[in-house]
């Protein structure tokens, strides 16, 4: 006798006919990620403290070694060990004040000299007051350079008088002498006219000039003016100098 059995309806999703409706579908679970363990603040503080202590001990050890070495060098210097005394002076920072620094550039600043006033070239003072020379020689009223290079040269003349002569022109010249030429070479020149207006009244006039000039070793610089007797030789008003660039 034929029996009819009822089966539940099955719907194929992917079109595969080999699906058994009575077998439960597998379940999938995502793996759980383990949380990283947070570093304890106490542990961090302890690590930092240990590192600081180690650094302090290392610095203390280096300081002790340096002090021992310094004491040894000072002891040798006191005992008259000439071979090691310069090294000890270098450690403690001692310097020989009698030796000038090697990096000082040539320079000179000359001030007016009224003793021999009235003649050209003008005479200068290289020692008193603000005057000085360094790496440059003052000889026969001129500055003689000892090395070749670029120099900044300057000169200021202060003219004054109690009378006014309109026809007089005030000239101010800086020139050089060299073995390569048989005559003086003018480097800078100024000329003043109409510097006074009323005769019998005191007047004054400044003349200043400066420039960068290439000079060779052995060349010398001088200053001429049209009327030397009108020059005021006060050191703050009339001067002449240079310095190496």
- The pLDDT assigned to 116 comes to 65
Q: How far apart are CA 191 and CA 111, in angstroms?
A: 21
Q: Give the CA diameter of the chain.
A: 164
Q: Can you give the pTM of this predicted structure? A: 0.58
Q: At 112, is the secondary structure helix, strand, or coil?
A: strand
Looking at residue 23, the DSSP 8-state letter turns out to be S
Contact between 237 and 158 (Cβ < 8 Å): yes
In the chain, where are the structural domains located?
A: 44-92, 107-244
Architecture of domain 107-244: Sandwich (2.60)
Please state, as a whole number, how many other Cβ atoms lie within 10 Å of the Cβ of residue 177: 19
Reported confidence tier of residue 164, pLDDT bands at 50, 70, 90: confident
- The pLDDT assigned to 130 comes to 93
Question: What are the structure tokens assigned to 46, written together?
Answer: 């302890």
> What mean pLDDT is reported for the chain?
78
pLDDT > 70 in the chain, percent? 65
Residue 192 confidence (pLDDT) above 60: yes
Contact between 90 and 73 (Cβ < 8 Å): no
Residue corresponding to tokens 């590192």: 51
| CB-neighbour burial class of residue 75 (10 A; exposed 0-12, middle 13-18, buried 19+) | exposed
End-to-end CA distance of the chain: 130
Q: Which of 241, 128, 237, 116 is nearest to 174 (CA)?
A: 241
Contact between 187 and 211 (Cβ < 8 Å): yes
Contact between 138 and 108 (Cβ < 8 Å): yes
Residue 97 confidence (pLDDT) above 60: no
What pLDDT digit, counting tens, does each position of 107-160 carry? 999 998 877 667 899 999 999 999 999 999 999 999 999 999 999 999 999 999
What pLDDT digit, counting tens, does each position of 18-74 carry? 555 555 555 555 555 555 555 577 787 888 878 877 877 777 677 676 666 766 766
Q: How far apart are CA 110 and CA 223, in angstroms?
A: 11
């Amino acid at each position: 006798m034929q029996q009819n059995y009822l089966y539940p309806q099955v719907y194929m999703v992917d079109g595969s006919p080999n699906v058994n409706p009575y077998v439960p579908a597998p379940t999938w679970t995502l793996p759980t990620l383990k949380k990283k363990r947070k570093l304890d603040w106490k542990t961090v503080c302890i690590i930092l403290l240990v590192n600081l202590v180690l650094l302090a001990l290392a610095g203390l050890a280096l300081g002790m070694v340096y002090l021992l070495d310094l004491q040894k060098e000072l002891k040798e210097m006191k005992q008259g060990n000439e071979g090691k005394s310069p090294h000890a002076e270098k450690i403690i920072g001692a310097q020989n004040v009698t030796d000038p620094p090697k990096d000082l550039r040539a320079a000179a600043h000359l001030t007016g000299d009224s003793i021999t006033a009235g003649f050209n070239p003008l005479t200068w003072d290289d020692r008193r007051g603000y005057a000085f020379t360094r790496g440059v020689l003052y000889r026969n009223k001129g500055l003689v350079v000892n090395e070749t290079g670029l120099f900044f040269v300057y000169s200021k003349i202060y003219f004054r008088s109690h009378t006014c002569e309109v026809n007089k022109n005030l000239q101010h010249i800086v020139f050089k002498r060299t073995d390569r030429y048989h005559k003086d070479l003018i480097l800078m020149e100024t000329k003043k006219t109409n510097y006074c207006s009323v005769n019998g009244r005191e007047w004054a006039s400044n003349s200043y000039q400066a420039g960068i000039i290439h000079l060779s070793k052995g060349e010398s610089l001088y200053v001429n003016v049209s009327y030397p007797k009108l020059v005021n030789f006060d050191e703050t008003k009339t001067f002449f100098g240079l310095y190496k660039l």
